[in-house]
Amino acid sequence: MPKYDINDPTDLDIMRAQFNMITHEEWDEYVELAESKKMGYKNVKILKSACKKTGIAKYLSPKIISWVLGLVDQIDEEEFYDEEE
């Protein structure tokens, strides 16, 4: 994920759009992967919270959206490298 400025309205709109594109099923997958990879209680909890807010990023703070999208990218990268091996 590119580095976004949470104080820039354009970047914030991009992050919200990326968040809203993730489906409920995909969030469930991310939660399961985070739990299996033992990513930590807080990370799993915030992913579960994001799952509940699927499609309604406007109710989440910019910091939370940034944190969650960072976790999603981290999980995606780890899955990509796991598949290559």
Whether residue 18 is contained in a domain is answered as yes
Whether residue 3 is contained in a domain is answered as no
Whether residue 4 is contained in a domain is answered as no
Whether residue 59 is contained in a domain is answered as yes
Whether residue 45 is contained in a domain is answered as yes
Q: What is the pLDDT of residue 2?
A: 72
Q: What is the pLDDT of residue 85?
A: 54
Provide the domain count of the chain: 1
Whether residue 25 is contained in a domain is answered as yes
Whether residue 1 is contained in a domain is answered as no
Q: Work out the pLDDT band at 82, boundaries 50, 70, 90.
A: low
Query: Which range marks the domain in which residue 29 is found?
Result: 9-84
pTM of the model: 0.85
Alpha-carbon distance values, 8 to 5, 11, 24, 56, 62 (Å): 5, 5, 27, 19, 10
Structure tokens at 47: 């992913």
